[in-house]
Amino acid sequence: MSSTPKERRFVIVGAGPAGMRAAERLVEAGERPVVIDEAQRFGGQIYRQPPAVMQRERRDLYGFEAGRAAAVLDRFEALRPQVDYRPQTLVWQVEASALQLLHAGRTTTLPFDALILATGATDRVLPFPGWTLPGVYTLGAAQVALKFQATLIGPRVVFAGTGPLLYLVAWQYASHGGQVAAVLDSAPLSAKLRAAPGMLARPTVAAKGAYFLARLRLLGVPLHGGVTLLKAEGRERVTGLSWLAQGTTHTTECDAVGFGHGLRSETQLADLAGCAFDWNEIDQAWLPQRDAAGRSSVRGVYLAGDGAGILGADAAELSGAGAAQAALDDLQASSPAAASARALPTSPAATSPATSPAAAMQPHVAFRRALETAFALPPNWAAEAPDDLIVCRCEEITAGELRACARDTGARELNRLKALTRIGMGRCQGRMCAPGAARLLAEATGCPLKDVGRLRGQAPVKPLPVALLHEAAPSTVVPEDEDD
C-alpha cells in the first residue's frame, strides 16, 4: 500500500447493517468511504426501505426491529454527506486492487486500497417438485414484497421449509391482512425444545420467536412440524401444496407459497478477490476465512455481515464496524508515514479485551448454533428428491441428471458436475441450486457434504448487457465454458 493516507480509498460493498456500520466507523476516523449497493435505497434486505414515494411507518415495516432499523438507517442518512454512496450499482468483478462496476448501463473501474465486503445473504433453498410455478417464492421474497412493495405474494399463503424466517414472515403476513393457510416446518417442533437452552444466549430474540408462534396459534393458523414437501400443485400458477407428515399426505389450498431453509452467504465477490475458504459446520457451507476482526486471507480485503457467515443483523452491525476498524488499523500500520501521522482511534480490542470482537460475537455464535438445532435441514432431502425434480431453475436440470452424471462419470466434485451438466452455470450462477446440487452429489457419491467442494465464482457475478462485454477488457471476463 503505497498511497498516502489522504489518497487512500475505502470501498464498502453492500449497504445493509454491516456496510452501514462499517461506513460509520470510517467516517468517524475521518475517511470518506465509497459505499456501493445494488438496491435503490440503503438498508439491505432486513431493513429494506420502500421507494421514497411509498414511505411507511417503521413500526409497520420492521415490527419489533423498528428501533434497531431506525438507529442504523437514521445514522447512515446523517452520514450521507461524508459518504460516497452509490445505489443501484453492481460490482461484477474484483481485481487485485480495483472493482468493476455497472451502473445505469455503463461499466466503470473503481480502484481501492481497502475493500470491505458486506454482501449479505439470500435464502438457502432445498427445492421440491413444482417450485418453479408462478406464485412460489422464497421467504425472503415474501418479505421483500411486503417491505419494499407493500404487497403480498398472494392473498392466501402457505409458508414452508424451515428457519426463524418461517415464523417471522408468517406473522408479518398474518398481521398485514394476509391469510396464512398453513406454516409447514420441515424440522420437528420437538427440535425447538431441544434448542431452547442454547437460545438463551439471546433471550429477547428467542422471546420474539416464541411470540410469533403463540400469535399464529392464537389466530388459528395450522402449524405443522416434521413436514416433507411433496409438490406445488397447479399448471398456470400454484393452487395448493401437497405435503406429508406422520405418514399422512395432505393438500393445503393456497394462492402462493413462501419457502426457504435458512440463509446462504453471498460469497462470489470474496471468491473473485482470491480469498481462501474454510468449511463451516454451522452453516454447512464453504465460507471465506476471516479472523476475529474481519480480515480475509487477502491483504486489504475484509469481510463483514451475513456475506461471510450467517449470524444475523445485530452481529452484522458489530462485524461491519469491526472490519472497518481492522482496515483502518492495517492501513495505519502499513503507511510509511505511520509514525508521524495523526493518531487514529485505536481498535476497541487493543484497549479493552473484555469487549474484544470475538467476545462480542460469542452470544451470536451460540444462538446461531441453537437455531441450527431448532431449524435443522431435512436430513433425507437428497435421498428423497425424485429424479424429475428440477434442481436448476435457470436451465431446468433435474436431480436425476445430476445423479446419473455422478454415477456414469464418477464426478465427485461440484465444479466437475457443473462442467458436465451445466448445474450452477445458468444465469443465477448457482445461487439457487448450489445447496441442493451439493447435497445430491454428496448423497450420490456417499461423501460428506464438505468433500464435494463449492462452486467457484465467475465474473460477471450477475448478468451484464451483452454490449458491455465488448467494452470490458478481454482478460476480465472468463467464458464459463473455459472452466474445467
Binding site residues, other proteins, CB under 8 A? 38-40, 45, 50-55, 122-123, 132-138, 140-141, 144-145, 148-149, 151, 236-237, 266, 393-396, 426-428, 431-432, 462-463, 465
At its nearest, how many Å lie between other proteins and the CB of residue 54? 4
Nearer to other proteins, 232 or 344 (CB): 232
Contact 318, 292 (CB under 8 A): no
Contacts with 379 (C-beta within 8 Å, 6 or more apart), sequence order: none
- Report the alpha-carbon distance of residue 358 to residue 125 in Å, rounded: 30
Contact 208, 218 (CB under 8 A): no
Cα dist from 152 to 135, 158, 219, whole Å: 11, 12, 19
- Positive or negative, the Cα torsion across 71, 315, 54, 212? negative
3-state secondary structure of 411: coil
- Grid cell, residue 130, equals 413444482
- Report the alpha-carbon distance of residue 382 to residue 295 in Å, rounded: 35
- Report the alpha-carbon distance of residue 82 to residue 79 in Å, rounded: 6
Nearer to other proteins, 47 or 367 (CB): 47
Nearer to other proteins, 164 or 198 (CB): 164
Residue 257 φ then ψ, to 5°: -130, 130
- Report the alpha-carbon distance of residue 277 to residue 308 in Å, rounded: 10
At its nearest, how many Å lie between other proteins and the CB of residue 134? 3
Nearer to other proteins, 18 or 394 (CB): 394
At its nearest, how many Å lie between other proteins and the CB of residue 345? 35
At its nearest, how many Å lie between other proteins and the CB of residue 19? 15
At its nearest, how many Å lie between other proteins and the CB of residue 39? 8
At its nearest, how many Å lie between other proteins and the CB of residue 163? 15
Nearer to other proteins, 292 or 404 (CB): 404
At its nearest, how many Å lie between other proteins and the CB of residue 139? 10
Nearer to other proteins, 80 or 427 (CB): 427
Give which of 249, 190, 222, 221 is closest to 375, Cα–Cα. 190
At its nearest, how many Å lie between other proteins and the CB of residue 17? 16
Nearer to other proteins, 140 or 300 (CB): 140
C-alpha torsion 267→467→397→449, nearest 10: -20
Residues β-bridged to residue 101: 91, 108
Query: Containing H/E element for 243?
Result: strand 240-245
The residue with cell 472490519 is: 323
Nearer to other proteins, 332 or 421 (CB): 421
